[in-house]
Amino acid sequence: MQQRNRQIDGLRGITILFIVVFHMIYSYSENFLDIYPSILMINRWGVVGYTLFLIISGYFLVTDKAEGFSLVKKRIKRLWPTYFLSITVDFILTRFISLPNRTITITDYILNIPFLNGFIGKPYLDAGHWYLTILIGAIILFSLINKAPINRRPIYILITLLVNCVLFLISSLTQELYWIRYLLAIDGGAYLPLICAGAGIYYINSDKNRCLGLIVYGMSLVASVILLKVQYVPVVLLASVVFWIVLKGKCSFMESRILLFLGDISYSLYVTHALFGFLLISYLQVCFGEYSIVFSIFAVLMCLVYATLVHFYFELPVSRALSKKCR
């Protein structure tokens, strides 16, 4: 069995920290205060963070096994319980604390439970959960691709990228074919190139299909220009270089205890932090009369505490219980 690369876990840790800080400071200020802080280029932290996460996800969606629907089942089984806990707690909290210009209904909650809302254009209970729609669409897509012979899988990824770009261009030219937008959501939409960039890196790093891997990665950059605009390409390249260095084990500080801990709780932290943190900042703002960046820093710390409790007392026990049930 191949040894786990703990530096990737450390990279996940620093990436989720970027995203949480971005949301608590920049996103809250932008959405509820109409302020756009630029300290330490914090307005770019979220983009870099999500790009890294999607590239890492794409890398691990590729497999040499003939995994079909079992891939979907395995990933959903891991993702859903903690997600369900998070949106349920958030929905309860919104009954007592409100956000400016934001109403969350029971219909929103029900549609969010089965991950359905993102695929049919309905509101997210937690706006940060858009990433899950992209990830689940990619999981479904790769569960189909992984059923093909190993040497043909990169070709199917290329075909999917091409079809995705064509559909996107068609949908941008006419509003009448609105159903195309829902079709794009199923396979990852505009963010599919980032997933495929990770898949390309997988093939480049392997002994098989290295040339096709380079083509997949190159096509992912081209598709990024079409779907995400040309200014996104430097971010993809930067994230790819960072991931490649970590993949090769050349970034030892990623194995620090703090980053590994954050990497271990990264999923719990991701699904729980955004709306919980926003509600906490809003409550403090009401109590003290005006916003202070101290509230955002405090929210980051409380999100870490909340996610740690969820990880150790819910996510891990549920994961172990489901694993035993499936044996």
Quick check: 280 and 306 in contact, CB under 8 A?
Answer: no
- Tell me what pLDDT residue 71 has: 77
Q: What mean pLDDT comes out for the span 245-262?
A: 95
> Tell me: the pLDDT tens digits for 74-87?
889 999 999 999 99
Which amino acid is present at 199?
A
Percent of the chain whose pLDDT exceeds 90: 60
**Which stretch of 118-132, 193-207, 296-310 has the lowest confidence by average pLDDT?**
118-132
Rounded to 5°, the CA angle 67-79-157 comes to: 40
> Tell me: the pLDDT tens digits for 138-167?
898 898 888 888 888 999 999 999 988 888
In this prediction, residue 175 has a pLDDT band, given cuts at 50, 70 and 90, of: low
For the chain, the average pLDDT equals 89
- Tell me what pLDDT residue 59 has: 95
CB burial readout 20-37, b (16+ within 10 A) else e: bbbbbbbbbbebbeeeee
Q: What mean pLDDT comes out for the span 286-309?
A: 96
Sign of CA dihedral 16, 54, 322, 89: positive
Helix (H) or strand (E) holding 34: none
Within 8 A by CB and 6+ apart from 106, the residues are none
In this prediction, residue 1 has a pLDDT band, given cuts at 50, 70 and 90, of: very low
Within 8 A by CB and 6+ apart from 242, the residues are 11, 52
> Tell me: the pLDDT tens digits for 272-290?
999 999 999 999 999 999 9
Longest CA pairwise span in the chain (Å): 62
In this prediction, residue 69 has a pLDDT band, given cuts at 50, 70 and 90, of: confident
How are the residues of the chain apportioned to helix, strand and coil, as percentages rounded to the nearest 5?
Answer: 80, 0, 20
Sign of CA dihedral 263, 11, 198, 173: positive
